[in-house]
């Protein structure tokens, strides 16, 4: 039996940049039907507060972004470019919009060998993990989808901070070093 425990609500209430860093090395687990799909988180991005022009929430509360203003520890999933889903985790306090985008996973359980190669981008992640709109707003302290600590901490010296991807429209916020990934991990989406 692997030593493991599900992260609790308090974990997600930390400052978003800390959550983004602390998620590295944790395991995302999705119970799809009676199958378990899981992978180790190796890359994240933070979207923080109402002024972050890269964040959907910078345009104010709308039906879609309402979740980002909600309680920490829930999912925020949306369709991008008409074809791919992105999986986010809501952080911090109610009424303060913030979330962490999970960009890449190292496959663990539930993948047949040929699928085991690449989960190195948010769109592919959702495709391979079978995450879609049905899980939008799900509670990560529930038993459908959650995150586990398996005792594989990542030391600070192995965490790289870099610019976020695909947000050239975000003005001065596009250069924030709010993307985090594990050094030398081969599942990272981009250098």
Determine contact, residues 141/6, Cβ cutoff 8 Å. yes
In the list 121, 129, 147, 148, the residue contacting DNA (rule: CB under 7 A) is: 121
> What is the DSSP code string of 105-135?
EEE-SS--GGGSS---SHHHHHHHHT--GGG
Q: How far apart are CA 123 and CA 52, in angstroms?
A: 22
Stretch 161-180: interaction string toward DNA, x if CB under 7 A: ----xxx-x-----------
Residue 135, φ and ψ in degrees, nearest 5: -95, 0
Nearer to DNA, 41 or 99 (CB): 99
Q: Is residue 92 within the footprint of DNA (CB under 7 A)?
A: no
In the list 47, 173, 180, 187, the residue contacting DNA (rule: CB under 7 A) is: 47
Q: How far apart are CA 160 and CA 188, in angstroms?
A: 11
Q: Is residue 16 within the footprint of DNA (CB under 7 A)?
A: no
**Contact residues for DNA, defined by CB under 7 A:** 45, 47, 54-57, 59, 62-65, 68, 76, 78-84, 86, 88, 99, 101, 121-125, 165-167, 169, 189
């Amino acid at each position: 039996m692997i030593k493991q425990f599900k992260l609790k609500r308090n974990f997600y209430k930390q400052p978003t940049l800390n959550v983004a860093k602390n998620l590295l090395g944790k395991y995302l687990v999705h119970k799809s039907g009676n199958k378990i799909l899981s992978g180790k988180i190796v890359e994240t991005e933070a979207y923080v507060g109402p002024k972050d022009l890269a964040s959907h929430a910078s345009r104010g509360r709308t039906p879609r972004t309402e979740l980002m203003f909600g309680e920490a520890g829930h999912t925020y999933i949306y369709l991008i470019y008409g074809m791919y889903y992105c999986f986010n985790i809501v952080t911090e306090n109610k009424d303060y919009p913030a979330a962490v985008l999970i960009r890449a996973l190292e496959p663990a359980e539930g993948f047949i060998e040929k699928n085991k190669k690449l989960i190195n981008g948010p769109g592919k992640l959702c495709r391979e993990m079978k995450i879609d709109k049905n899980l939008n707003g799900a509670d990560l302290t529930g038993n459908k989808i959650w995150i586990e600590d398996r005792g594989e901490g990542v030391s600070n010296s192995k965490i790289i901070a870099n610019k976020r991807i695909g947000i050239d429209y975000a003005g001065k916020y596009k250069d924030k070093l709010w993307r985090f990934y594990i050094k030398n991990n081969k599942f990272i989406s981009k250098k």
